[in-house]
Each structure stands twice: as structure tokens, then as C-alpha cells.
């Protein structure tokens, strides 16, 4: 069974930093693009960042460029998102999701809530 | 960047009735379009990919159609568990979602 489990969410002040982790199991982790997708409270889905299976290529939404860094450790089957200079508008549930053929999100984690507030 | 616009924003339907949800792309997305269902407090679930292919375990009452820029998700006969929010999605230079359609009980 494929599972994705996010951790590292919490309350952080504006301007602060946080690192999210996504532990994967049940599939060949290094063969797939894995992504971060967020959802502000009561709003829609926004893709944030993704990384190729090898880690050689990373992708970022404009809202994440320069502040967020995605990385992965294939030996640990874990994806990370380091977020810095956090803003109130970054408050959201952050989901980790595996991309099938690099196109669609066929498996999702349960999400980690990040709250940016003073 | 391709923008996906979903309509309507919300839809009131009685159980057992048919629901049709629209997703329009700002330019052609060929056949690379997916639909997701999200229930409160849960992660989204992939329903349809490549416009019309049902994901594993998705009931036949869900179907997708369309091409180019106009796409439709149809739920042929709504079950109680189908009342949820539905999103369309495409990947071009980045991954893009529509803003969602909420299907509510009439």
C-alpha cells in the first residue's frame, strides 16, 4: 500500500522558517516526481513545488521561488520542503503528493497544517 | 501559464440526480486533464485522468469528457458520498488546479 506521511507543521511567526517532511512507503520512491501542494483554510488547491525522482530537477510556483527549497533523500524515502521568510498568506494545509507519469497526483498524504501568525 | 476555470462554483443536486461540472482551459491542454474529489478534512482523491480514464477503484457513475479547452465531469446518479468539492488539474510548465466546484445536497 502506498503511503505518504507529512510532518513538521506548526505555528510560526511571520518571517520565520519551518521544514516539512514527507515519508513515503509502498512504491519505488526514486522513480517518481513528488510534490508539495497547499490549501489555505476554506480555499482551493495550489501546487507549490516538485522534485524529480533523482533530485536533479526541482520545480517551483512563483509564490515559492526564492523562499522555499525542496529536497529529497531517496535512501530515506523522504521529501522535504524548507520554508523561510514565511508570510501570513503561507498559512495552509501542505500536502505531499506522488505524481503519476509526472502529470497527475495519484496518491496524497493527509496534510500538515502550517500557521503563520504573530 | 494555463488557467483552468471551473463552473459553476457550486451546484445543488438531489441524490440520484445527474451532475455535470465544467472545466475550461485558457488554451488547449490536449488530453492531459484530471479531476479530483475532496471531502471536508480529507486529502483530494484522483477520480479521472487523461480526460476520461477512471482511476483505480472509482465507480462507473463518474465519467469525464471533452477535448482541447472544454471538459466535463459527469456524475450520473449522485450517491450520498459524492457530495464534495471537485477540482480539475493540468500540467504544463507547472501543475495547475481549477478553483473547484462544490456539489451540495438540494
**pLDDT band at B12; cut points 50, 70, 90:** very high
> According to the model, what pLDDT value does residue A31 have?
97
- Do the beta carbons of residue B13 and residue B106 sit within 8 Å? yes
**Of the candidates B80, B76, B40, the residue with the CA atom closest to the CA atom of residue B59:** B76
Closest CB from B34, B95, B100 relative to A47? B95
Rounded to whole angstroms, what are the CA distances from A25 to A9, A77, A96, A102?
A: 20, 7, 13, 18
Cell of A39: 490549501
> Of all residues in chain A, what percent carry a pLDDT higher than 90?
99
| Contacts B91 to A, Cβ<8 Å | 102-104
Q: Which of B100, B72, B26, B33 is nearest to A39 (CA)?
A: B100
Q: Which residues of A touch B (CB under 8 A)?
A: 35, 37, 44-47, 50, 59, 61, 95, 97, 99-100, 102-106, 108-111
pLDDT of residue A70 exceeding 90: yes
Residue that the C-alpha cell 464534495 belongs to: B84
Q: Is pLDDT of B32 > 90?
A: yes
User: Residue range B12-26: average pLDDT?
Assistant: 97
Contact predicate A99/A31, CB 8 Å: no
pLDDT confidence of residue A86: 98
| Mean pLDDT, chain A, whole residue set | 97
DSSP state for residue B92 in the 8-state scheme: S
B54 - beta bridge partners?
A: B48
pLDDT tens digits, A75-97: 999 999 999 999 999 999 999 99
The reply to whether residue B94 touches residue A35, judged by beta carbons under 8 angstroms, is no
Q: For residue range A12-24, list pLDDT tens digits in order.
A: 999 999 999 999 9
pLDDT in tens, B35-83: 999 999 999 999 999 999 999 999 999 999 999 999 999 999 999 999 9
Specify the residue for cell string 463552473.
B7
Residue B93 pLDDT level (bands cut at 50, 70, 90): confident
Distance separating alpha carbons of residues A53 and A100, to the nearest angstrom: 12
Amino acid at each position: 500500500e502506498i503511503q505518504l506521511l507529512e510532518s513538521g507543521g506548526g505555528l510560526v511567526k511571520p518571517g520565520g522558517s519551518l521544514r516539512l517532511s514527507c515519508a513515503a512507503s509502498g512504491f519505488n520512491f526514486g522513480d517518481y516526481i513528488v510534490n508539495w501542494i497547499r490549501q489555505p483554510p476554506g480555499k482551493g488547491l495550489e501546487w507549490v513545488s516538485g522534485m524529480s525522482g533523482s533530485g536533479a530537477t526541482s520545480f517551483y510556483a512563483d509564490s515559492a521561488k526564492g523562499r522555499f527549497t525542496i529536497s529529497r533523500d531517496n535512501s530515506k524515502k523522504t521529501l522535504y520542503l524548507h520554508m523561510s521568510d514565511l508570510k501570513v498568506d503561507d498559512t495552509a494545509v501542505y500536502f505531499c503528493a506522488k505524481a503519476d507519469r509526472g502529470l497527475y497526483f495519484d496518491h496524497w498524504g493527509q496534510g500538515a497544517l502550517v500557521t503563520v501568525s504573530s | 501559464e494555463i488557467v483552468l476555470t471551473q463552473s459553476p462554483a457550486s451546484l445543488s443536486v438531489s441524490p440520484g440526480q445527474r451532475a455535470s461540472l465544467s472545466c475550461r482551459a485558457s488554451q488547449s491542454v490536449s488530453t492531459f486533464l484530471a479531476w479530483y474529489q475532496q471531502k471536508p478534512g480529507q486529502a483530494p482523491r484522483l477520480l479521472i485522468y487523461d480526460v476520461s480514464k477512471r482511476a483505480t477503484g472509482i465507480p462507473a457513475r463518474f465519467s469525464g469528457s471533452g477535448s482541447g479547452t472544454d471538459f466535463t465531469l459527469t456524475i450520473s446518479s449522485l450517491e450520498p458520498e459524492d457530495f464534495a468539492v471537485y477540482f480539475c488539474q493540468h500540467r504544463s510548465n507547472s501543475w495547475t488546479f481549477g478553483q473547484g466546484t462544490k456539489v451540495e445536497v438540494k
